[in-house]
Amino acid sequence: MAKDVIRQKINDAFLRRALKNFAAAYPVARARAFEGLDFEELRGRISTFKQEGLRNLPELVARFTTSAERAGAAVHLCTTPEEANRTIHGIITSRGADFLVKSKAMTSEEIELNHYLEERGVRCLETDLGEWIIQLAGERPSHMVMPAIHKNREDVAELFSRATGRECPPDIPQLVQVARETLRSGFLAGQVGLSGANVAMADSGAIGIVTNEGNGRLVTTLPRTHIALIGVEKIVPSLKEALDVINILPKNATGQKITSYVSFIKGPTGGDGRELHIVLLDNGRLRLAADPDFSEALKCVKCGACANVCPIYEIVGGHVFGHIYVGGIGLVLTPFFHGFDKAEEILKLCIGCKKCNEVCASRIDIEGLIVDLRDKIRKPAGQKFLFGTLMKNRKLFHATLRAAYLAQKPFQSEGGRIRHLPLILNRETANRSLPPIAERPFRDLALDKSESRVPSPESREKVLFYSGCLADFVYPEMCMDTVASLEALGYEVSFPQKQTCCGIPARYSGEMEVARDLARINTDVLLEPEADYVVTICPTCTMSLRHDFPKLLSADPLWREKAERLAAKTFNFSELAARKSGARGAGLGAGKGERISVTYHDACHLKRGCGVYEEPRRVLTELVGVEIREMADCDKCCGFGGSYSIKYPEISREVLRNKMENIAATGAKTVAVDCPGCKLQIEGGLEAAGTGIAVEHSATLLARRLAES
Amino acid sequence: MVEQFTTAAEAVGAEVKRFPTLNEAVAAIRSRAGGRAVATSALPPPVRSALDGLDCVPAGALHTAEIGISFAQAGIARTGSLLLALSDPAGRSATALPPVHLVILDAATIVADLSALGGTLGALLSSPGSAYLSLITGPSRTADIERVLTIGVHGPKELHILIVEEN
């Protein structure tokens, strides 16, 4: 993605404010809309019948076609955008028309219908207020549900003044009235109307359309010919499934219980030469539905919730974060609908926080699909060497990190932190100081330690410590704290020296083979010594060992069994520590005098990658003995995302800024985290801003407390 | 159920009034629509005859109507929604074009939620021939400019629901 476009969006004050306000308001409205409903159950059902439908999509298309034709509609299945455009143009000219009045249809954006028709002398009028605004501006939607969210009232007033030839003041009710009056003649004059549809029912041949403004009903009522342009994946077996979709859509899209209008249209109504044409759009969908790895993307009901909660969308908006379809699912659908060349840059923009997965109306693993798609795009020069040669060879990789310790020396300031990197790297790290690579990584310190260890007399649970590279080479003291805490809690801890990178950086960069090799190496290293648990202090490593290894190695039954065995005994530090919270009694946590307050930041990969968020809080309150002052959006990404913060420093910085504001608002002087990456990012930002707020891993806070008592 | 319906409908900007008899509801419509151009959708015969004498616009001039009058098949308590079967385009226009929409709703037809309406919807959609059903919840609305909620874009600006609680 061109850096100047990203910078322009970041500096667009209105866009930033609009998206930030929406990001704050949306979860509240959404929660209210779902009150009394079991979201997980509902979306589970949708996920199941959608996936089922995709398995038999050609059959579903055939059934729908038969039913719709029986009801009097003409159905046209179009393979390509060109074919769909040509078909629609043919219908319009067959009616002797040269004017098309439209309600909102993302499919029409997908095939660039307006452009096609206007080149052939057919005038198109968008009547959805947001769509009309962007049609007048000559732009494309920046959100699937709120297409003009990037436009302010002044922009709209200017566009409307130009379109109507009269001065329109920047007053929202007045602007809405202008739209009503101006577009009314369009509805009345329209010879042909075009709509999309949110759902189509195979049993009855009816389609369902969900709208708020009322233009959808006018477009499908006043013109004598109605064309509905519908993606084939919108077909569900019957009304029962359709009602589930209609139930979840408005709640997830805008936080409305239901939209003002839901219309069910079956066949052309009114007789008298009226026609209903249903143009079913394939455009890669039938092939995608049969793809074993990516078909689940088509479960999407186009609610846009993945954009609503995305921390990156919140910073850059839909003109950067997407192509025609925007948000997380837009990144996934673009290569299949518009080609991999259009998707190459945008697929890199996801930071991997998994927030979208949490709200997806059909429980799509959006983030997982994005990561898997990166394997299919062109890799940047040099990446092959970095992953294929360097990271696969543990000794070479670790020797390089040791060399980096010497190379960084000239840039360290007093206190050892790095504030300015040389040359081009400098801009990238502005507003954030960096910790240096340690003189002695933890793996060296562990060697000293194991020699002096006295075997414990009691029989203790054996734990293998998998530190992760960042903690090993940058935060060795965090690793020492982990060992000290776990030993004090009654575990026997050892550190297998042959462990190496968990492979996530390779996987996130689309180097699946390298990730697979690293998974095999680590699986063997961690299964060889007899142990009850493997413990990690990096949530990304935890997630990798628990979920990615079995997935990466699933093709080979032997390796899959091993990976699953490892996954079953892998835990995050907070999980193992929390198990001892009851046993140690409240005495430890109570501490002396008043409890100090910390605020807690949930790492994305711990909360959503591993489902762990309660245990860390128990460790802090019961074992460390502090009080937690929860911050707003405690589980929203800090903007680190591993190499993301180097690839997209401007975006990373803005995401971090939001996090820092939420931290400051709690008044706490310490931020507790369970992730060395979050610590690096947040500490760097807080220090550069001179806030005096410390960021500590829970293991460090616990080790300190245990040393005191 | 009527209470819940009323609360939900009012929450989305509809105006709800309750009447003990159909006659009183019709009288209220007459007094509201008297002397103004009206358009109607398919109405039960007693309602239609009770509204005789109102200034109904001709089919070709539906856009000049100031008030649309319709009769709901059912209501949804949870969301304050109305179900209208509007397979005649002219009748549909009567609920879509005028700035004011008056709807009569029989309290006995109110169901708990959308899924409870499934049977009715299913029956209407599975009968042979074409169909056009609308669920209407509050007046027409938009938030497309700066996400500011604004009432009355293309559809009715006012939605008046007249609930009849006869029997």
Range A49-56 average pLDDT:
96
Q: If you average pLDDT over residues A413-421, what whole number do you get? A: 60
Q: Is A22 on the interface with B (CB under 8 A)?
A: yes
As for the ipTM of the complex, it is 0.97
Which pLDDT belongs to residue A393? 84
Q: How many structural domains compose chain B?
A: 1
Dihedral class, residue A611 (left if φ above 0, else alpha if ψ from -120 to 50, else beta): left
A101 with A241, same domain: the answer is yes
Strands A461-466 and A261-266: unpaired
DSSP 3-state of A25 = helix
Q: Is residue A51 part of a domain?
A: no
- The alpha carbon of residue B124 is apart from the nearest alpha carbon of chain A, in Å, by 10
d(CA B101, CA A277): 30
* Residue A590 predicted with pLDDT over 90: no
* Mean pLDDT over each residue of chain A, to the nearest integer: 91
The domain containing residue B71 runs over which residues? 2-164
Q: From the list A133, A147, A262, which residue is nearest B135 (CB)?
A: A262
Find the distance separating the first CA and the last CA of chain B, reported in whole Å.
15
- Reference A175, options A163, A186, A185; nearest CA is A163
pTM as predicted? 0.91
Examine residue A659 and state whether it is found in any structural domain, yes or no.
yes
Tell whether A453 and A565 lie within a shared domain: yes
Say yes or no for a CB contact (<8 Å) between B154 and A187: yes
Confidence of residue A455 (pLDDT cuts 50, 70, 90): low
pLDDT tier at A423, thresholds 50, 70, 90: very low
User: Taking 90 as the threshold, does the pLDDT of residue A416 lie above it?
Assistant: no
- Dist CA A482 CA A465 (whole Å): 9
A530 lies in the same domain as A601: no
Kindly report, residue by residue over A674-700, the tens digit of the pLDDT. Answer: 999 999 999 999 998 999 999 999 999
Interhelix angle A129-137/A153-164, nearest 10 degrees:
70
Q: Do A261 and B92 lie within an 8 Å CB cutoff?
A: no
- For residues A498 and A603, membership in a common domain is answered with no
Which tokens sit at A497?
Answer: 């020296």
Dist CA A575 CA A674 (whole Å): 11
Q: A38: Cβ–Cβ under 8 A, 6 or more apart, which residues?
A: none
Would residue A386 count as lying in a domain? no
Residue B122: C-alpha distances to residues A238, A278, A539, A642 (Å): 9, 21, 49, 52
Considering the domain architecture, whether residues A642 and A518 belong to the same structural domain is answered as no
Look up the CATH number of the domain holding residue A209: 3.40.50.10420
- In terms of domains, do A99 and A237 share one? yes
The confidence score (pLDDT) of residue A509 equals: 85
Mean pLDDT of the region A495-523: 92
Task: Report d(CA A318, CA A128) in Å as an integer.
Answer: 18
Size of interface A-B (CB pairs under 8 A): 172
Q: What percent of chain A lies above the pLDDT cut of 90? A: 79
* Residue A674 lies inside a defined structural domain of this protein: yes
Name the residue with tokens 């069994």. Answer: A561
Exposed/middle/buried for residue B56 (C-beta within 10 Å: 0-12, 13-18, 19+):
middle
Q: How far is A313 from chain B (nearest CA, A)?
A: 17
Helices A3-10 + A649-666 axis angle, to 10: 30
Residue from A42, A67, A176 to probe the interface with B (highest B Cβ count within 10 Å) = A176
Q: A143: Cβ–Cβ under 8 A, 6 or more apart, which residues? A: A149, A304, A307, A318, A326, A327
CA-to-CA separations, A562 to A514, A572, B58, in angstroms, rounded: 18, 19, 78
Percent of chain A exceeding pLDDT 70 equals 93
User: What is the distance in angstroms between the Cα of A625 and the nearest Cα belonging to chain B?
Assistant: 44
> What whole-number distance in Å separates Cα of residue A353 and Cα of residue A547?
15
Note whether A219 and A178 are same-domain residues. yes
Q: What are the tens digits of pLDDT across the range A460-488?
A: 899 999 999 999 999 999 999 999 999 99
Instruction: Decide if A658 is inside a domain.
Output: yes
pLDDT at A584: 54
Instruction: Copy the structure tokens of residue A195.
Output: 């709509």
Q: Do both A251 and A183 map to the same domain?
A: yes
Residue A128 neighbours by CB distance under 10 Å: 28
List, as ranges, residues 259-318 from A with C-beta within 8 Å of B: 259-270, 274, 276
Please compute the mean of the pLDDT values over residues A567-573 and round it to a whole number.
97
Calculate the alpha carbon distances from A310 to A33, A188, A574, B146 in Å: 20, 40, 27, 19
Q: What CATH number should be reported for the domain holding residue A417?
A: 3.40.50.1860
* A385-394: b (≥16 Cβ within 10 Å) or e: ebbbebbbeb
Listed in sequence order, the DSSP H helices in A95-207 are 106-110, 113-119, 129-137, 153-164, 172-189
Does position A453 have pLDDT exceeding 90, yes or no?
no
Residue ending a domain, choose from A264, A286, A308? A286
Minimal Cα–Cα distance from B35 to chain A, Å?
24
Number of other residues whose CB lies within 10 A of the CB of residue B65: 23
Please report, for residues A31, A85, A298, A510, the alpha-carbon distance to residue A212 in angstroms, rounded to integers and kept in the order given: 20, 27, 25, 41
Instruction: Indicate if A629 and A529 belong to the same structural domain.
Output: no
- Give residues with Cβ within 8 angstroms of A183, minimum separation 6: A125, A127, A132, A215, B154
Q: What is the DSSP letter of A410?
A: G
A421 pLDDT more than 70: no
State whether A269 and B125 contact (CB < 8 Å): no
Mention every residue, 6+ apart, whose C-beta is less than 8 A from residue A621.
A589, A627, A628
- CA A76 centroid distance within chain: 35
3-state secondary structure A211-245: ECCCHHHHHCCCCCEEEEEEEHHHEECCHHHHHHH
Strand partners, B162: B17, B104
- CB-based contact (8 Å) between A133 and chain B? yes
Give the ranges where A591-674 is alpha helix by DSSP (H).
Answer: 604-610, 614-618, 644-647, 649-666
Among the candidates A536, A558, A577, a domain finishes at A577
Among A574, A654, A667, which residue's Cα sits nearest to residue A622? A574
B31: CATH = 3.40.50.10420
Is A563 a domain residue?
yes
Residue of A nearest to B128 (CA): A71
- Residue A466 touches partner B, C-beta closer than 8 Å: no
Low-confidence ranges of chain B (pLDDT < 50): none
**Looking at the 3D structure of chain A, how many domains does it have?**
3
Question: A29 in contact with B at a CB cutoff of 8 Å?
Answer: no
> Is residue A624 a part of any domain in this protein?
yes
Phi and psi at A76, nearest 5°, equal -120, 115
Over 50: is that where the pLDDT of A587 sits? no
Report the C-alpha gap between A570 and A555 in whole angstroms: 21
User: pLDDT tens digits for A263-292?
Assistant: 999 999 988 889 999 999 999 999 999 999
Distance between B30 CA and the closest CA of chain A, angstroms:
26
Phi, psi of A527 (to 5 degrees): -95, -20
Residue A100 belongs to domain spanning: 58-286
| Closest residue by Cα to residue A380 from A429, A347, A411 | A347
A129 touches chain B (CB under 8 A): yes
Inter-chain residue contact A176 with B142, CB threshold 8 Å: yes
Using a CB-CB cut-off of 8 Å, the residues of chain B touching A187 are 154
**What is the rounded CA–CA span in Å between residue A587 and residue B17?**
63
> Which pLDDT score is estimated for A377?
83
Contact by Cβ (8 Å): A474, A442: no
* CA A34, A37, A41, A44 torsion-angle sign: negative
Task: State the pLDDT at residue A586.
Answer: 43
Q: Please report, in angstroms and rounded to a whole number, the separation of the first and last CA atoms in chain A.
A: 53
In a domain, A119, yes or no: yes
Show which of A514, A543, A577 is a domain's final residue: A577
Read off the pLDDT of residues A611-627 as tens digits, 9 standing for 90 and up: 999 999 999 999 999 99
Is it the case that residue A224 has pLDDT exceeding 70? yes
Nearest to B94 by CA among B73, B63, B60, B53: B63
What pLDDT is attached to residue A413?
66
